[in-house]
Structure 1
Amino acid sequence: MSRDALPRSAPQRSALRRAALADLAGLRARHPQVFSVPLRRRLLVAGVVAGLAGLALVAMVRLDFSLLRILTGLHRLGEFAVLMLPPSPEGQGLVFLKALAETLAIAFLGTLTAALLALPVALLAARNVMPNVFLRFTVKRGFDVIRAVDVLIWALIWINVVGLGPFAGALAIACSDFGAFGKLFSEAIEAADRRPQEGVTAAGGSPLHRVRFGLLPGVLPVLASQVLYFFESNTRSATIIGIVGAGGIGQYLTELIRVLEMQQVAFLVLMILVTVAGIDWVSGRLRRAIIGAPA
């Protein structure tokens, strides 16, 4: 390594900075392209900013955005907050706990099913595993189509197929996450280090051995981290899809809001917050342990 490539200490960097500032005029004269922004680029940036501002203005007009309506409606938020105090299950604590456990089961089963199904299909979408460009394109576009449908829409579809209940909720999360996992898994596989795979091939391994022993051990920590993150997110999603009849605590939440039992609503919201915070803490530590990061 050359001496110029060695990292400089803080005093050296400070001395270089003082020298550069002292000769700022000379630097501008020698390197004008660094200090001056071309007019075309300035106009492009100004055009992009103006376009975004125009789109935001049009959206506000089309959606009847009104700051006055927000300000005049704030007192309603205060009334709801008063109705929520103090949070109380009012004798329904055990029922709510069972519903919360059902929500966690929906999120867990849906996430696990999606991950197990998406992993082998994601291999078909990875450039370093599947050489057939037409098959890769078909699989990737399939992931895009599935991912484009929101989990709430999947819940409504599966409710009409298998009926109301948590089974429809688990299927909805599995379908929604299948497309997301397929995209993320295939990208992680394509970004994997090629050297272990080349070593397996050089040792006489088959393409299957190359995937099993050279590819998967390197990407599994990343995939597991993604699955844990989605489980945390799906706990919230399972609450939402319960509102349309897909089981879990969401169905109690929407019924209590309709009849203005706000103290019980506050109790359910606190249960969800505590549960999500706990899952976030546990999954965060598991993700750091899996990828080898310090706790």
Structure 2
Amino acid sequence: MTLALSAADRAALIARHKAAIDGSLKTKLTTIAVIGGLVGLFLYGLTTLETSLWKIIAGFSNLGTFVVLMLPPDPGSFARAIIFVKALFETIAIAFLGTILAAILAFPLGFLAAKNVVANRVVHFLARRSMDTVRGVDALIWALIWVNVVGLGPFAGMLAIMTSDLGAFGKLFSEAIESADRKPVEGVASVGGGKFHEIRFGLIPQVLPVIASQVLYYIESNTRSSTIIGIVGAGGIGLYLAETIRTLEWQQVSFLILLVLAAVTAIDFLSSKLRFAIIGKRAV
């Protein structure tokens, strides 16, 4: 049975909580300022980038020309196709090793950056800012740096992926740890468990499925990123993609693009199976 409020009671309720309903003047001004800033930034971007709808419409004819030049996909020869497939597996290896090494290194950093694990503000601040610094540099720039450090080749690409993902994984892992339920941790502590036991039996079982899902997604994403960093000499199929574009071999370009799409699709299928297996559901 629901009790309807009378008009007088409703008016009294609104008057009593008027500040919470209407909001403060400071909150309103802040909201207006944020919205105004975003709109201004959007308009500034439109004018600065010389955005033009007519350029896009006119460019469709050029796009159609390139599509026609790319058909049918053709590696050029059987030997060339073997080289491309080998380069594709090299790209997958770069993405896989780089992502796994980044996850291994970021795992302890995630605990250092989590407020519910490390209460020391100095350690927490240094861990967070260090990961922000690493994450602030794009994988392509890291590839250019590592190419100059260790030379051309897939090793530089693997190091670039690892370095770029280290900061991202540290942030994601720490946020997953901070959002974990405190009850299992308190349960471990109540039976005499120490700090290590709280982490091992209270936190890790909760965050491991989330971390595994994030790592699997990044393996798929980094397969595409490894293609881009290969263009600057970090190994993989990107090197051949840049070469074929430079020599206007558009049929070979489309063949390489199809190889990358097939690899990403296969990795996505396998990662979804693994993710469902890890979180305890039957993979379908």
Say whether the fold is shared (TM-score over 0.5): yes
Task: Name the structure 1 match of 2:50.
Answer: 64
Mapped partners of 1:50, 1:203: distance in 2: 54
**1:73 Cα offset (Å):** 2.5
> 179-188 vs 122-131, which deviates more?
122-131
Task: Name the structure 2 match of 1:90.
Answer: 76
Instruction: Mark the CA change 1:292 to 1:47 in structure 2 (over 3 Å): closer, same or farther.
Output: same
Letter in 1 for 2:195: P
> 40-49 vs 157-166, which deviates more?
40-49
Mapped partners of 2:57, 2:29: distance in 1: 38
Task: Name the structure 2 match of 1:185.
Answer: 173
Instruction: Mark the CA change 1:65 to 1:194 in structure 2 (over 3 Å): closer, same or farther.
Output: same
Mapped partners of 1:43, 1:116: distance in 2: 45
Instruction: Mark the CA change 1:135 to 1:29 in structure 2 (over 3 Å): closer, same or farther.
Output: closer
Task: Name the structure 1 match of 2:264.
Answer: 276
Letter in 2 for 1:259: T
Task: Decide which of 199, 207, 211 is 1:219's aligned counterpart.
Answer: 207
**1:42 Cα offset (Å):** 8.0
Task: Decide which of 155, 164, 177 is 1:176's aligned counterpart.
Answer: 164
Q: CA RMSD in A?
A: 2.9
Instruction: Mark the CA change 1:89 to 1:212 in structure 2 (over 3 Å): closer, same or farther.
Output: same
Q: Secondary structure at the match of 2:192?
A: coil
Task: Decide which of 126, 142, 145 is 1:157's aligned counterpart.
Answer: 145
Letter in 2 for 1:89: P
Mapped partners of 1:60, 1:123: distance in 2: 42
**1:253 Cα offset (Å):** 0.3
Mapped partners of 2:143, 2:232: distance in 1: 8
**1:38 Cα offset (Å):** 8.0
1:111 aligns with 2:136: no
Task: Name the structure 2 match of 1:258.
Answer: 246
**1:293 Cα offset (Å):** 4.6
Mapped partners of 1:115, 1:277: distance in 2: 22
**1:80 Cα offset (Å):** 0.6
Mapped partners of 2:113, 2:34: distance in 1: 34
Mapped partners of 2:128, 2:88: distance in 1: 35
Instruction: Mark the CA change 1:57 to 1:131 in structure 2 (over 3 Å): closer, same or farther.
Output: closer
Cα shift readout 1:144-190 (whole Å, capped 9, x = no counterpart): 11100000010000000000000000000000110001011111111
Mapped partners of 2:265, 2:197: distance in 1: 41
Cα shift readout 1:43-87 (whole Å, capped 9, x = no counterpart): 876665554333222222222222222222322111111100101
Give the gaps of 5 or more residues in structure 1.
5-18
Mapped partners of 1:39, 1:136: distance in 2: 33
Task: Decide which of 115, 125, 133 is 1:137's aligned counterpart.
Answer: 125
> 48-57 vs 245-254, which deviates more?
48-57
- The number of residue pairs the alignment matches comes to 276
**1:204 Cα offset (Å):** 2.1
1:125 aligns with 2:81: no
**1:194 Cα offset (Å):** 1.9
Task: Name the structure 2 match of 1:245.
Answer: 233
Q: Secondary structure at the match of 2:73?
A: coil
Mapped partners of 1:49, 1:198: distance in 2: 42
Task: Decide which of 146, 163, 187 is 1:199's aligned counterpart.
Answer: 187
Task: Name the structure 2 match of 1:77.
Answer: 63
**1:218 Cα offset (Å):** 1.8
Letter in 2 for 1:203: V
Letter in 2 for 1:59: G
